[in-house]
Chain A
């Protein structure tokens, strides 16, 4: 398939995931700030902005934090920006997407660009956005053929997921809010119920171990790495060339996480850093192997 089209699918996967993960994280974090004022708002806001690589512009209220992170179409680190970027990618490949997928995404985009009533009840508003993004994911999941395009999209989603779980874990909810923090971390990844079902008691260390190494939860870094590897193998089967370095990157990450002995809390933090690093290298490799040089070249005389 055309590299440009593949790239749009890849980034569509990434941006949808980024938007969803950011919404979940913001919703939980906002809840903590409001409920438990033991952490100064300025500090609480700053850690989230830092985790998302956003500039700290002196945000010091939960309300302001929501406003900044819902953000605008021009910054793809924000929710509105990620959804808008997802939509532009979808527009470029509209012919290859199901009509439902485009419409679902478009409605999420329109809702955000019209400005949902965040001021009144940010939690409800964020939940509405989340619902729309869930619809997008659902439609994609049951309308897209499992072809090369799909594998590119999944690869993008999984690499973004590893990165976003890494960002989530870079915020020490468990240290800032010792009582409610660990559950919030799990909830921000949609992982509280699965964690509880596994029969463990919620501690900061176990929650973090769960999001890195669990064998079944789809947002654990280990499962993400396995899914990314599977996507790359799917691409190879369909003739995508030059993917051996990429396979090595995601495969090594997967095996490292898969064959890890029960690690210490410190080793967990190392895994997090390594996984984010590997995801970043894999992203670079995707660019190099499949998309490189198709960007607009400006010619000089």
Chain B
């Protein structure tokens, strides 16, 4: 499932820059947008940035950090994906989802993949997110991953790779929609030269998919969004989705279960609920079967789902498929279930339960990223190149004592995108991409673009939204062409060899690849973590 890293891992490799090619020529794709931004100028961009902040503030587009609500910083430079690039991402995401759906149906059913020995049973059964309580629950339209956010990065060669799968409660989609509205509001000029695929149909698609997942005998299903409450960091998104789908935003105490039917307490009496789009973690969902101390869930809901009277979306137990120890096997799963070659490759990953791979990792720990396999949020992540000797020694002890709980990856350098930095200058910053996909049982809709997260501070080691990370409006551009085109000759008087905008390249060498990796990884991991464990929620 993995290959040993080339010795090139010793030397830092320049990141792939999405605007400028390695020989310094700009990519033509960015010409129109960059020309517009250049003509607005640094001081103009500062004005727009203030307008943006006012807009976000006025519309209450925030995430909650501690007790405070803050706007999520949105960069003014859109990230551009050509339709050819997007086609590949879309096809790759859909393929991966189909395989992961099949895998979940299998491990919560016949267990064919285990009997065939494709994947060690020990990895599946030892996953903290493998819920035996969910075994044998079939879903009305065979969908378990109603909403997914498969995180991609672009490697040094510009190839998109899957960094991790998020199949439980991926969040951030509200920012995708808000970013587009915000950018169109404060920087309408940049849209002039491109046909950008719209993102605003997402709520409708989601609602359709949730209705399609309802128990089949229900003709007019009632859908609700279940939130852990106002203190959850992603509460804004929960209200956003409920409002845009036109459904109730409920808390666990608004619902109760009786004889396998779930009801919502309303002032007109109990009202049956058929689909629960829950944004609380599995563990808190049903105190009968899972965490007995949960006050956020609905006692009896698992048996109601088993009886086919209510659909829980995403399904219970999906976490076994996005466990990092399973991740290295996903390419195999694609071949096994679909008989296809993976379209989007993984990042090389070492299975530390394999003695040979473990030995290799331990010998090259200073060049590895070591991640705990079931936790997310950056907890316990060790970046080899930037770690202290003591941290490396501890990581080695951890890996040796419980290899199942960790994976290791060679350091990958994320791609960079032009980004507005201090003083309105434009400089490269590292980005990742989370495309959101909605499965309605017949089709998988991949929201064109997705959430690009960007490491805003130069030289800073942390990018998660709580510490200065931001996002970018991400465009899928209908250019009718495949992958990136060569630079054209006539877009600039100076010719295509001059770095542009002026000074863009000047700052791009300041950060070591490992530093970038560290930041972005930390942000990645934060996404599907129950950041507010005590409240059982899943933050942005």
Contacts and interface: CB of A to CB of B under 8 A. Distances in A.
A–B: direct contact at CB < 8 Å: yes
Contacts of B292: 299, 301
Contact of B265 (A92, A94, A148, A294): A294
A19 B436 CA distance: 47
Interface in A244-301: 290, 293-299, 301
A1 B254 contact: no
A239 interface: yes
| From B60, B250, B266, B287, residue with most partner A Cβ within 10 Å | B266
A290 B267 contact: yes
Contacts of B60: 99
B212 to A, nearest CB: 25
A201 interface: no
Contacts of A94: 230
Contact of A95 (B243, B251, B269, B287): B243
A240 B268 contact: yes
Given A2-B248, A240-B267, A296 B230 contact: no
B340 to A, nearest CB: 44
Contacts of B254: 2-4, 294
Nearest to A149: B267
B296 to A, nearest CB: 9
A235 B267 CA distance: 9
B476 interface: no
Given A2-B266, A148-B267, A95 B249 contact: yes
A154 to B, nearest CB: 14
A141 interface: no
Contact of B268 (A241, A293, A295, A297): A241
Contacts of A92: 230
Contacts of A4: 251, 253-254, 265
- Interface band, chain B: 20 to 34
Contact of A2 (B230, B243, B265): B265
A91 interface: yes
On chain A, which size bracket covers the interface?
20 to 34
A255 B42 CA distance: 72
A2 to B, nearest CB: 5
A242 interface: yes
Nearest to A152: B267
A91 B239 CA distance: 13
Contacts of A294: 253-254, 265
Contacts of A299: 287, 292, 299
A241 B269 contact: yes
Contacts of B190: none
B65 interface: no
B268 to A, nearest CB: 5
B295 A297 contact: yes
B454 interface: no
A6 interface: yes
Interface string B218-255: 00000000000010000000010001000011110110
Interface string B288-302: 000010010001000
Contact of A296 (B264, B265, B269, B295): B295
Nearest to B265: A3
Given A2-B250, A241-B269, A298 B295 contact: yes
Contacts of A152: 267
Interface in B261-320: 264-269, 287, 292, 295, 299
A35 B256 CA distance: 58
Contacts of A293: 256, 265
Contacts of B299: 299
A2 B416 CA distance: 47
Interface of A: 1-4, 6, 91-92, 94-95, 99, 148, 152, 235, 239-242, 290, 293-299, 301
Interface of B: 60, 230, 239, 243, 248-251, 253-254, 256, 264-269, 287, 292, 295, 299
Given A3-B266, A148-B267, A299-B299, 8 more contacts: A94-B230, A95-B243, A99-B60, A240-B267, A240-B268, A290-B267, A297-B253, A299-B292
24 contacts: A1-B266, A2-B250, A2-B254, A2-B264, A2-B266, A3-B265, A4-B251, A4-B253, A94-B230, A95-B239, A95-B249, A152-B267, A240-B267, A240-B268, A241-B267, A241-B269, A242-B269, A293-B265, A294-B254, A295-B253, A296-B295, A297-B253, A299-B287, A301-B292
Closest 7 CB pairs of A and B: A3-B265, A240-B267, A241-B269, A239-B268, A6-B267, A290-B267, A241-B268
